[in-house]
């Protein structure tokens, strides 16, 4: 089978949400990819593509490409179209997080202690709003810390 776009009407952010427009790219930032906080310095909020560890994404989705030092808007809460990794089937309503290498969305298992730990709180990246079965399927994800 081939990958499907389950929301062909729009790309990126879909509908209203919370966007912070002044993140500074600490490395490569790729549009429509999950982002993680990078080491901050006074006055800057830095992000970079997540993907060094499963569940590493902890801040939102980049709404444009940026190189180191560039400003990038990041959707921290709202609905965004993202790609599924295809390693696991994702059902509508499943919690999702980023896969370690592809940085695409994968289903979280049902044990909360296997979710990402940030401070003393376990969280997931968001919740799938559509089903995905193939690598590259494009689905809507409600981005925001859950749990």
Quick one: tokens of 36?
């993680």
Task: Please calculate the CA angle 121-127-130 and round it to the nearest 5 degrees.
Answer: 170
| Pairing state between β 45-49 and 13-25 | parallel
Percent composition of the chain: helix, strand, coil (DSSP 3-state, to 5): 0, 50, 50
Mapped onto helix, strand or coil, the DSSP state of residue 74 is: strand
pLDDT in tens, the chain (147 residues): 677 776 777 677 777 788 888 899 998 899 988 888 887 666 788 898 887 777 777 788 999 999 999 999 999 999 999 999 988 899 999 988 888 778 888 888 766 655 666 677 777 888 999 999 999 999 999 998 666
The tokens 């799938």 sit on which residue?
128
- Smallest CA-to-CA distance from 81 within 2, 8, 19, 141 is with 141
Per-domain boundaries in the chain? 18-146
- Smallest CA-to-CA distance from 73 within 114, 5, 3, 17 is with 17
Q: Report the 10 Å Cβ neighbour count for 145.
A: 17
| Pairing state between β 13-25 and 34-37 | unpaired
**Model-level pTM?**
0.83
């Amino acid at each position: 089978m081939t990958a499907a776009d389950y929301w062909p009407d729009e790309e990126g952010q879909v509908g209203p949400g919370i966007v912070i427009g002044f993140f500074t790219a600490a490395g490569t930032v790729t549009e429509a990819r999950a982002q993680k906080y990078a080491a901050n310095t006074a006055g800057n909020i830095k992000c970079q593509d997540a993907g060094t560890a499963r569940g590493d994404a902890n801040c939102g989705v980049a709404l444009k490409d940026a190189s180191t030092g560039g400003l990038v808007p990041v959707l921290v809460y709202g609905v965004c179209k993202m790609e599924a990794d295809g390693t696991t089937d994702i059902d509508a309503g499943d919690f999702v997080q980023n896969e370690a290498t592809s940085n695409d969305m994968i289903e979280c298992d049902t044990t909360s202690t296997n979710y990402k730990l940030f401070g003393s709180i376990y969280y997931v990246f968001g919740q799938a709003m559509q089903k995905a079965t193939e690598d590259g399927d494009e689905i809507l994800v409600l981005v925001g810390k859950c749990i």
